[in-house]
């Protein structure tokens, strides 16, 4: 390993107001937040505002935001183009449980950007979108079972929370016969039994599943990249083989494009990989942070609506979400926003690669330049189980060290870094690389000082909180 510079001292973040807010919030909100994923104990961050590629917490600490709300903010926080349009439209009223022209425009734009789609409906969240897509697949085929892949996250309804994020991958069972692992209590076994887990990029396992249960399989739902394991990419031909296998057995292919849609390309991962699914789900980037979501499919598959399948929602297609989607999708369609996001991600990757190579640290970039991960490993990962073999403790230490220095990736090695159009502004990309370098050196110094497996205080707490969610406090 080459000689590396001595790490700079870790800056001290201001935390007084956030600690007080944590104590206050914990009396009302479980864990002090409205989501388990944001509950980081006394290190929980309480945000004040965001603009462009930056966010500020209530203590005034500034961060380059590499989480972007887990991906929705494709243009930047507080994008004036989107916000001005939403503000103008919402003055006409927000929620009618009647259909507005904005909703029709959203459907037309989603179809225009994804020409394989026949029909589309809006909903409120990615969770609802995948729930409805699974229901449509079961209704259309008359079958009950859905195949999903280990480590993939499709929302928080019961049918999605199987084999999602165990820290101990041995709990997933034999590599040739994965077991369904319910993530959290309260999921009826009868529901869990309708979901069949498979290993991402393992076609032999998937074929055996179809040969065993093919007559009962309604569909395969898949994130085109393994989004909850830093965006692990498919092996060449993987998606093509799944497409062929589902057609062979009369099942549907569902692309969960909640993370990849309108981010990987204007037509999402379906365009990027050149695959035509039967159904797809969208959310996140389609609204630049507003709670907009949609699901759609071929005209034939979607023909089960409205007469044969239940779908509704008081807030589905509400004026705020629809207006945000209209403007965001129009910008994505008519400008080079996605090209800018990709170029920024590639620029950051180049800088990170130079930093890591100077220190002789084995690493692999996963995913797409607009949404990528960094795994400290020599082997190119192909599935969730490979995450366990990477040096994710070092990654967690670096990520939380970056927080203290003014950049905020998710402090969990499974979540990718997200980029938005506003990250191209000023010196943000260069600052990300510098902050990463300083945090890396600090983590390496700590490890060299005799605590190779010890994480910084906040990283360790966050890691244990996630583990508790999946073990004592999460699994029944």
User: Which residues of the chain fall short of a pLDDT of 70?
Assistant: 1-8, 166-167, 173-174, 450-476
Which sign does the torsion angle of CA 374, 462, 151, 340 carry? negative
Give the angle 291-74-381 at the CA atoms, nearest 5°: 105
CA 48 – CA 61 distance, rounded (Å) = 10
Q: What percent of the chain clears pLDDT 70, i.e. is strictly above it?
A: 91
Q: Is the peptide bond before 154 cis (omega within 30 degrees of 0)?
A: no
pLDDT at 476: 29
Nearest alpha-carbon partner for 37 in 475, 344, 468: 468
CA 112 – CA 30 distance, rounded (Å) = 42
In the block, residue with structure tokens 């500034």: 62
Q: Which residues are catalytic?
A: 153, 256, 284
φ/ψ of residue 63, rounded to 5: -135, 140
CB 429 within 8 A of CB 423: yes
Q: What's the pTM value of the predicted model, to 2 decimals?
A: 0.91
pLDDT at 11: 77
Which sign does the torsion angle of CA 306, 307, 312, 318 carry? positive
How far out from the chain centre does Cα 23 lie?
A: 29
CB 361 within 8 A of CB 367: no
pLDDT at 172: 75
CA 304 – CA 336 distance, rounded (Å) = 37
| E strand map for 401-453 | 407-408, 417-418
pLDDT at 450: 56
pLDDT at 173: 67
CB 434 within 8 A of CB 143: no
Which residues lie below 8 Å from residue 440, measured CB to CB, with a gap of 6+?
355, 356, 359, 361, 398, 401
């Amino acid at each position: 390993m080459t000689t590396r510079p001595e790490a700079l001292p870790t800056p001290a973040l201001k935390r007084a107001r956030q600690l007080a807010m944590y104590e206050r919030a914990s009396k009302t909100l479980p864990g002090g937040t409205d989501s388990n994923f944001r509950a980081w104990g006394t290190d929980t961050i309480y945000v004040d505002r965001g603009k462009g590629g930056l966010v500020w917490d209530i203590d005034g600490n500034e961060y380059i935001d590499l989480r972007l709300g887990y991906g929705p903010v494709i243009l930047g926080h507080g994008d004036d183009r989107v916000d001005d349009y939403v503000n103008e439209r919402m003055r006409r009223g927000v929620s009618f449980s009647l259909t507005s022209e904005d909703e029709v425009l959203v459907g037309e734009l989603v179809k225009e950007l994804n020409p394989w789609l026949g029909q589309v409906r809006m909903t409120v969240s990615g969770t609802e979108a995948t729930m409805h897509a699974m229901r449509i697949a079961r209704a259309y085929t008359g079958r009950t079972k859905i195949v999903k892949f280990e480590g993939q996250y499709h929302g928080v309804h019961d049918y999605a929370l199987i084999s999602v994020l165990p820290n101990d991958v041995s709990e997933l069972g034999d590599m040739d016969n994965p077991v369904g692992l319910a993530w959290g209590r309260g999921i009826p076994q009868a529901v869990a039994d309708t979901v069949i887990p498979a290993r991402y990029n393992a076609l032999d396992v998937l074929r055996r599943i179809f040969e065993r249960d093919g007559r009962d399989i309604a569909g395969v739902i898949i994130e085109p990249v393994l989004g909850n394991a830093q965006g692990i990419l498919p092996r060449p031909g993987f998606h093509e083989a799944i497409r062929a296998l589902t057609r062979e057995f009369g099942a549907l292919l569902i692309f969960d494009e909640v993370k990849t849609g309108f981010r990987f390309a204007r037509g999402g991962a379906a365009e990027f990989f050149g695959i035509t699914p039967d159904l797809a789900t969208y959310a996140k980037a389609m609204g630049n942070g507003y709670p907009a979501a949609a699901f759609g499919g071929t005209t034939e598959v979607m023909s089960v609506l409205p007469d044969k399948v239940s779908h509704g929602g008081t807030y589905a297609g509400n004026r705020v979400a629809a207006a945000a989607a209209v403007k965001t999708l129009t910008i994505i369609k008519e400008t080079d926003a996605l090209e800018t996001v990709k170029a920024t991600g590639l620029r950051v990757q180049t800088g990170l690669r130079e930093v890591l190579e100077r220190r002789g640290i084995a690493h692999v970039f996963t995913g797409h330049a607009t949404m990528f991960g960094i795994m400290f490993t020599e082997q190119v990962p192909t599935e969730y189980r490979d995450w366990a073999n990477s040096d994710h403790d070092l990654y967690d230490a670096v990520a939380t060290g970056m927080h203290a220095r003014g950049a905020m990736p998710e402090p969990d090695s499974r979540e990718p870094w997200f980029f938005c159009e506003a990250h191209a502004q000023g010196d943000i990309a260069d600052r990300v690389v510098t902050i990463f370098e300083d945090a890396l050196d600090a983590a390496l110094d700590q490890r060299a000082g005799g605590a190779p497996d010890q994480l910084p205080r906040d990283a360790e707490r966050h890691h244990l909180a996630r583990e508790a969610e999946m073990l004592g406090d999460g699994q029944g």
